[in-house]
Amino acid sequence: MRVAVFDLDGTITRSDTLWPYLRGWVRRQRRPGFWLRAAAAAGRYPFDPDRGRLKFNLIRAAMGGATRGEVAAWTAQFVAGLGDADLYPGALSAIARHRAAGDRLVLLSASVDLYVPDIGRRFAFDQSICTEVSWQGDRLDGALVTANRRGTEKRRCIELLRARHPGLRFVAYGNARSDFDHLESVDEPVLVNAGPGLRREAEGKGFRTVDWRNKSPGHPVHSA
């Protein structure tokens, strides 16, 4: 038995998930003024490149004040709607192989707990670790209540997992240079879907590299 840790955006899904999630909510709710607030938040980012703050600003602009019931209903629709065009067949195959081998599956993502745990449940992950956001009673506030689960923070999460599962080998899948921090901390690091330069850099560090991008949609989407 091993612990298999999967990143989400760009590793399992073909693209970012937060922006489609927020955009879909705005279209569903017809939120006035969102696009101006989103543009303002994006415009500030080059001068204040804090990804966590940008994430908070976008979530609050799109969904601030939404009720738990409203968010749960949209999340169920969003997660159920992830299909062949959104998911890498190679990722789904790797998840299935680890599950068949009896490995513990962990979804580790910088995306938020509004929907990441639901994706984890859909694909029968044993545990989901992601960026958590705050509520004020029944209403969504959107401020981050954990560190943004990216870079060195992902490595810290791996270290905590190792302490809980002593003696088990860890394999981790990521797709970006920001994943190098936690990939370096596992026994079997795998970089997926990288371009030539990043792939060479990863291989120089001893990472295995695989490419799931060029497999065409049409692979059936299996979920538990």
* pTM of the predicted structure, to 2 decimals: 0.89
Residue 41 domain-assigned? yes
Phi (first) and psi of residue 103, to 5 degrees? -75, 155
Reported as a single tens digit per residue, the pLDDT across 34-88 is 766 666 666 665 655 667 777 888 898 889 899 999 999 999 999 999 999 999 9
Reported as a single tens digit per residue, the pLDDT across 19-42 is 999 999 998 887 667 766 666 666
pLDDT at residue 221 in the model: 38
Q: Tokens at residue 60, please? A: 């609050």
Domain total for the chain? 1
Q: Are the C-beta atoms of 78 and 101 separated by less than 8 Å?
A: no
Residue 178 domain-assigned? yes
Q: Are the C-beta atoms of 116 and 16 separated by less than 8 Å?
A: no
Task: Give the residue among 223, 215, 224, 221 at the shortest CA–CA distance from 90.
Answer: 215
Instruction: Give the CATH number of the domain where residue 181 resides.
Output: 3.40.50.1000
Question: Residue 48 gets which letter from DSSP?
Answer: S
Range of the domain at 30: 2-210
Residue 25 domain-assigned? yes
Residue 215 domain-assigned? no
Residue 138 domain-assigned? yes
Q: Tokens at residue 80, please? A: 């159920």
Reported as a single tens digit per residue, the pLDDT across 82-137 is 999 999 999 999 999 999 999 999 999 999 999 999 999 999 999 999 999 999 99
Task: Give the residue among 212, 210, 190, 203 at the shortest CA–CA distance from 7.
Answer: 190
Residue 177 domain-assigned? yes
